[in-house]
Chain A
Amino acid sequence: MALKEFRLPDIGEGIAEGEIVSWKVKPGQKVAEEDELVEVMTDKATVTITSPFDGTVKELKYKEGDIVPVESVIATFEVGADAGGAPAAPAPAGEAKPAPARAPAVEAGTPAPEASGEGAGEGDADGSDANGAAVRAAPAARKTVEVPRPSSVPGAGHAVAEPGKVLAAPATRRRAREMGIDLHAVEGTGPRGRVTNEDLERHTAAAPQGVAAPAREPVAAPARPAATPAKAPPRPPVSIPAGEREERRPFRGLRRKIAEAMTRSKHTAAHFTYVEDIDVTELVKLRKEAKALYADEGVNVTYLPFIMKAVVAAMRRYPELNSSLDEANNEWVIKHHYNFGIATDTENGLVVPVVKDVDRKSIVELAREVQELAEATRAGKVSVDQLQGGTFTITNAGNIGGLFATPVINFPEVAILGVHKIKQTPVVRDGQIVIGDVMYLSISIDHRLVDGAVGARWMNVVKDCLENPKKLLLGTL
């Protein structure tokens, strides 16, 4: 039997941490390779991770809701007799019978893949690294044998290090010193009972909470304004409890990601915003008809796909707005594909799923895709792939309200279009004041790349398409 650690992999590109949404297994449960293990939410997407092992779940190191850095050990497994981790029949639950001396010997003699890679790879002529591998492998095997069976506490590695001597990396010792922790009091779970940084954290968490410790969790009760200070002599407390004066919410995950992205954008791109009013009276009529035509198919035809098509038309004329700056190579990357991010408001914050190849899809297809993407995004089920590859972004506040806005560019794209509420407004048509449906569009552009005149001309194309929506249907689209 061998103890195997399962580390949280980097699911997606360069993700730093993930939240354990739910465990699909329990300690003691047998799993086969590819069985679902755990559902993890990263900064942007939720992913179900499957087991790389056949074996028995030994311990789950984190609770649901915990935020876990990538590469942390999140679970341990006991894996079948082949210590090398080759696929083997699931271990019988009884396990742990191999003689203590044998397991290490086996590991040293027939190096496990990672051990041999290390020994040979390290390039030591005298073979000392091969010994190193054996030493390293041994404690893992020993641990399987020595661990008290029923509760399987991690790091019951006492009696391994010499009494009175604590093993710890220099950095761990410094940390302990700074935290005022006596290393002797810490239970070490590393090789040969070494105290790891995680052990320090566990130790601190387990220590009795002093009064000084601030409440970390978001307060469940809704915050209320503090009650007016009572001047009168003490009165029996009113049944409404005074709420917290403030609450502390964790700043991490998606919120922190958004903060970083917005700051980078604002600090890097030279934002300017250009606003135009669009008389969409004709479009409102057309959309009403379209909505009725496709209602049976369950497609909600909104204004957005029409706007997306108008944007494609404008991009074809002025591709500078569909671009990004490759600063590392001093090159301006003009994109001839049209992948539009749709800024989507979710419970946790802003998420931008991407509709790919907008130019090659019909208005109805776009409507359906936008609808599905938005639902998946709000349910937290959107895949990492669906969040990548955008060339331009559209943000729609029209269903909430407002006149216009100055959207922040979804960096490194160079522009973002804000779509706003359609309002009935007096408009002048042929010298007469009539009631028209009018909407504002605001485009924020990175002035480093695109000048105001180009942005204004671009907007004119969009305006023309939306005011004369037949052009969308009859034109090259």
Chain B
Amino acid sequence: MTLIEAVTDGLRTEMRNDDRVCVFGEDVGKRGGVFLATAGLQEEFGPERCFDTPLSECGIVGTAIGMAVYGLRPVAEIQFLDFIYPAFDQIVSEAAKFRYRSGGEYTCPLVIRAPYGGGIRGGHYHSQSSEAYFCHTPGLKVVIPSTPADTKGLLIASIRDEDPVMFLEPKRIYRSVKGEVPEGEHYVPLGKGRIVREGTDVTVVAYGAMVGVCEKAADAAREKGRSVEIIDPRTLVPLDEQLILDSVRKTGRCVVVYEAPKTCGFGAEIAAIVAEKACEYLEGPVVRVAGFDTPFPYTLENLYMPDVRRVLAGIERTFVW
């Protein structure tokens, strides 16, 4: 099953399981979404539970907040994460704050799904990685899967979560990554990272589409005698700090890979946590391999995105500095 099929499978499973779950967004209903993430859901569950909305991100999220507070389990799709800004105020000021403002009386159990990231030649309005904006707002959870099985399991966990979850889907690997996905109920808890592969010399932390890049880099590094451990945190908020710290304490070296601009990217937060809590285990600098501090370039996309060569160079810098 591809990653995008796992999204559909996760939605369908949870819609069958819980009739409070409804799915909507631009082109989500009849067409099944521009990436076909919701294909077939309107046919199965009807236009009351899977429907199209006007072209208004602010309206989509505002509606979702109302539904959530009144007891439904809305899953709103924003067609591209790049289009989310009209809804930003609704997300960070309303959805994220409901629990706090009501003294815990109300929660806001909604999921906002959005494809994000580059690598599909989409230009700057269809390629950005702005996960850090949402990680910076207390009250939101931020989930980024990297495998089909995790996609389904984390999506179901997100829908069942009592708080608003930003579910960001790495569109570059929507169809390029396939994997076994458990049928029916499959639940991957939020806040538990996974060790993609074990290694002894250096820890590489990556999420989303960067996990695959790092796996290839680890293969190449192995040929040079470097044993690379790859950690995929799976959810940025809440973050499985312990898994990352345990790994760095074991290997003594850390590289963080993310495709967002380098400055203030979420990888910078991971680097800071490592520096703060595993300082005395470090054999070398914590290195970030990231995008550049520029708008996402259409023609230079391949140079902008971290690739195997750059990850390898980053790994090497933790040894030779």
Set A71, A126, A171: member contacting B281, Cβ < 8 A? A171
Neighbouring A residues of B293 by C-beta, 8 Å: 125-126
Contact bitstring A44-86, B, C-beta under 8 A = 1, else 0 = 0000000000000000000000000011000000000000000
Contact A125 B294 (CB under 8 A): yes
CB pair B310–A123 under 8 Å, yes or no, is yes
User: In the complex, what residue of chain A is closest to B290 when comparing beta carbons?
Assistant: A123
Q: How far is the CA of A118 from the CA of B284 in the complex (A)?
A: 15
Asked if A122 meets B225 with Cβ closer than 8 Å, knowing A172-B283, A173-B280, the reply is no
Interface membership of chain A positions 7-30, coded 1 if the CB is closer than 8 angstroms to chain B and 0 otherwise: 001100010000000000000000
Asked, given contacts A169-B284, A170-B280, A171-B281, whether A125 binds B317 with beta carbons under 8 Å apart, the answer is no
A121 adjacent to chain B (CB < 8 Å): yes
Expressed in whole angstroms, the minimum distance between the Cβ of B169 and any Cβ of chain A is: 24
B282 to A171, Cβ gap below 8 A?
A: yes
In the bound complex, do residue A118 and residue B280 qualify as a contact, i.e. CB atoms below 8 Å apart? no
B277 to chain A, nearest CB (A): 12
How many chain B residues touch A (CB < 8 A): the figure is 30
What residue in chain B is nearest A123 (Cβ atoms)? B310
Q: Is the interface of A mostly helix, strand, loop or mixed?
A: helix
Q: Is A297 an interface residue (CB 8 A)?
A: no
Q: Is the CB of B225 within 8 A of A123?
A: no
Given A10-B225, A136-B321, A171-B280: A117 and B313 interface contact (C-beta under 8 Å): yes
Counting CB contacts under 8 A, is A300 at the interface? no
Q: What size tier do the contact residues of chain A reach? A: 20 to 34
User: Could you say which residues of chain B place their CB within 8 Å of the CB of A117?
Assistant: 309, 313
Choose among B282, B294, B312, B313 the residue with the greatest number of A CB atoms under 10 Å from its CB: B313
CB closest chain-B residue, reference A190: B321
Q: Are B313 and A118 in contact (CB under 8 A)?
A: yes
Contact B283 A118, beta carbon cutoff 8 Å? no
B119, CB-defined interface residue at 8 Å: no
Query: Is A170 a contact partner of B281 (Cβ separation < 8 A)?
Result: yes
In the complex, which residues of chain B have a beta carbon less than 8 angstroms from the beta carbon of A174? 280-281
B309 x A121 contact (CB < 8 A): yes
Q: Which residues of A157-195 have CB atoms within 8 Å of chain B's CB atoms?
A: 169-174, 191
Q: Report A-chain residues with C-beta under 8 Å of the C-beta of B283.
A: 169, 171-172, 197
Q: Contact: A121 with B313, CB < 8 Å? A: yes
- Point out the residues of chain A lying under 8 angstroms from B287, CB to CB: 122
Instruction: Collect the chain A residues with CB atoms within 8 Å of residue B222's CB.
Output: 14
Q: Which of B262, B306, B313 contacts A125 (CB 8 A)?
A: B262
Q: Is B279 an interface residue (CB 8 A)?
A: yes
Minimum CB–CB distance from A275 to chain B (whole Å) comes to 40
Chain B residue contacts of A385, Cβ below 8 A: none
Contacts of A191 in B (CB 8 A): 321
Q: How far is the CB of B263 from chain A (nearest CB, A)?
A: 9
At the interface, yes or no: A327 with Cβ under 8 Å from chain B? Answer: no
Question: B213-253: which residues lie under 8 A (CB-CB) from chain A?
Answer: 222-226, 252
- Contact call A136/B310, Cβ cutoff below 8 A: no
A125 and B292 contacting across the interface, CB-CB below 8 Å = yes
Provide the residues of chain A in CB contact with B279, threshold 8 Å: 170
Residues of chain B contacted by A118 (CB below 8 angstroms): 313, 316-317
Contact A136 B313 (CB under 8 A): no
Contact B282 A170 (CB under 8 A): yes
- The answer to whether A136 touches B282 (Cβ under 8 A) is no
Contact with A along B43-72 (1 / 0, CB 8 A): 000000000000000000000000000000
Binary contact track A115-131/B, C-beta < 8 Å → 1, others 0: 00110111111100000
Q: Measured between C-beta atoms, what is the minimum distance from A2 to chain B in Å?
A: 15
Q: Are A121 and B281 in contact (CB-based, < 8 A)?
A: no
Name which residue of chain A comes closest to B200, CB basis. A16
- Mark out the residues of chain B between 274 and 317 whose CB falls within 8 Å of any chain A CB in the assembled complex: 279-284, 287, 289-294, 306, 309-310, 312-314, 316-317
Asked if A124 and B262 sit within 8 Å, CB to CB, the answer is yes
How far is A170 from B277 in the complex, measured between Cα atoms in Å?
12
Question: Which residues of A sit under 8 angstroms from B309, Cβ to Cβ?
Answer: 117, 121
Tell me the complex Cα distance, A157–B122, Å.
52
Quick one: closest A residue to B284, CB to CB? A169
Tell me which residues across on chain B come within 8 A of A120, comparing CB atoms.
313
| Closest Cβ neighbor of B281 among chain A residues | A171
Q: Which of A95-132 contact B (CB under 8 A)?
A: 114, 117-118, 120-126, 132
Q: Which residues in A have their C-beta under 8 angstroms from that of B313? A: 117-118, 120-122
Q: How far is the CA of A363 from the CA of B225 in the complex (A)?
A: 41
- Most chain B beta-carbon contacts within 10 A, residue among A120, A169, A172: A169
CB contacts (< 8 Å) of B252 on chain A: these are: 171
Establish whether residues A121 and B284, one from each chain, have CB atoms under 8 Å apart when the complex forms. no
Nearest CB of B to A160, in Å: 16
Interface-central residue, A70, A120, A126, A170, by most chain B CB under 10 Å:
A170
Tell me if A122 and B281 are in contact (CB < 8 A): no
- Chain B residue contacts of A132, Cβ below 8 A: 321
Instruction: Please name all residues of chain A whose beta carbon is closer than 8 Å to the beta carbon of B312 when the two chains form the complex.
Output: 121
Q: A123 and B281 in contact (CB under 8 A), knowing A10-B225, A70-B225, A118-B316?
A: no
Which A residues are CB-close (under 8 A) to B225?
Answer: 9-10, 70-71
A172 neighbours in B (Cβ, 8 Å): 283
CB distance from B293 to the nearest CB of A (A): 5
Interchain residue pairs with CB less than 8 A apart (22): A9-B225, A70-B225, A71-B225, A118-B313, A118-B316, A121-B309, A121-B310, A121-B313, A122-B287, A122-B314, A123-B291, A123-B306, A125-B262, A125-B292, A125-B293, A125-B294, A132-B321, A169-B284, A171-B280, A171-B283, A173-B280, A191-B321
Q: Which residues of B contact A (CB under 8 A)?
A: 222-226, 252, 262, 279-284, 287, 289-294, 306, 309-310, 312-314, 316-317, 320-321
Seen from chain A, the residues whose Cβ lies within 8 Å of a Cβ on chain B are 9-10, 14, 70-71, 114, 117-118, 120-126, 132, 136, 169-174, 191, 197
The 5 closest A-B pairs by CB, nearest first: A121-B313, A174-B280, A125-B292, A10-B225, A170-B282
